[in-house]
Amino acid sequence: MIQSEQKVVMRAIALCFKRFLKTEEALIYTNLERTQFAKKCAEAGIVKNASGYYSREQLDNMMGREEI
């Protein structure tokens, strides 16, 4: 049986490999609070796609991260 701690770690690792993130996942990925995230997205011109997901590539650019 998978413990809850292991499940959280597995989910966090999975976020790094997804191309598109839900709002809650994007908040975790960027390590920002909701208002900070909204402000940074507005400044960078990042919006959700038609399905309601954020592009991880755009979030990386917003946060100043280099892609691997």
Tens place of pLDDT for every residue, the chain, 68 residues?
667 787 778 777 887 789 999 998 898 888 899 999 999 999 999 999 999 999 999 999 998 865 54
Q: What is the 3-state secondary structure (H, E, C) of 1-57?
A: CCCHHHHHHHHHHHHCCCCEECHHHHHHHHCCCHHHHHHHHHHHCCCCCCCCCEEHH
In the chain, the percentage of residues whose pLDDT exceeds 90 is 51
